[in-house]
């Protein structure tokens, strides 16, 4: 009588070592993906902040030059204030530049982390020029003298 042989098929399963290797590999890839994601968000945030700073300084520059040109001769310049002979004033208040002419105030806010100071520059063959230095502060509120913007505005003719 013939004997019946039963063939047993063993199902191929993954060993614990193979499963652990796959888990470690997936974890490593997720870690790298998250690292690049957060790094790109930080860089994007920095570029966005820089763009806002540049736009703000551009707006302040245009307004300052127009204001100085429209209000004529300068009476007095202090680091935090400019007074014109017609009574108009540009003053620093907190983090804002306040332009006052004919009892009308216009306020422009400087970007976060910036301070400004006025100065007067006189050249013998040119009209006096108001200088507005906008300087960035570092995280310890110290001036970063390598990161500043200088805006010059003249009362006569086109802005410098």
- Contact assessment for residue 89 and residue 119, using Cβ atoms and an 8 Å cutoff: no
Over range 1-13, report the average pLDDT. Answer: 71
- Contact assessment for residue 137 and residue 143, using Cβ atoms and an 8 Å cutoff: yes
CA gap 19, 16 in Å, rounded: 5
Q: Mean pLDDT score of the chain, rounded to an integer?
A: 83
Report pLDDT digits (tens) over 9-37.
Answer: 777 788 889 999 999 999 999 999 999 99
Over range 43-53, report the average pLDDT. Answer: 87
Q: What is the pLDDT of residue 20?
A: 94
**Full-prediction pTM beyond 0.75?**
no
Beta bridge partners of 153: 130
pLDDT of residue 2 exceeding 70: no
In whole angstroms, how large is the CA radius of gyration of the chain?
Answer: 33
Report pLDDT digits (tens) over 82-129.
Answer: 998 888 999 988 888 899 998 889 998 887 778 888 888 888 887 788
Q: What is the pLDDT of residue 159?
A: 39
Q: What is the pLDDT of residue 24?
A: 96
Q: What is the pLDDT of residue 29?
A: 96
């Amino acid at each position: 009588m013939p004997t019946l042989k039963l063939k047993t098929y063993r199902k191929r399963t993954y060993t614990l070592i193979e499963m652990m290797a796959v888990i470690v590999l997936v974890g490593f890839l997720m870690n790298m993906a998250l690292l690049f994601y957060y790094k790109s968000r930080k860089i994007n945030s920095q570029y966005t902040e820089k763009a806002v700073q540049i736009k703000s300084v551009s707006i302040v520059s245009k307004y300052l030059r127009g204001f100085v040109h429209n209000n004529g001769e300068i009476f007095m310049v202090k680091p935090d204030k400019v007074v014109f002979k017609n009574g108009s004033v540009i003053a620093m208040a907190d983090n804002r530049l306040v332009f006052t002419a004919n009892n009308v105030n216009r306020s422009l806010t400087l970007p976060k982390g910036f301070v400004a100071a006025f100065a007067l520059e006189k050249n013998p063959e040119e009209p006096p020029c108001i200088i507005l230095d906008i300087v960035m502060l570092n995280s310890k509120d110290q001036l970063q003298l390598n990161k500043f913007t200088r805006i010059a505005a003249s009362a006569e003719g086109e802005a410098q």
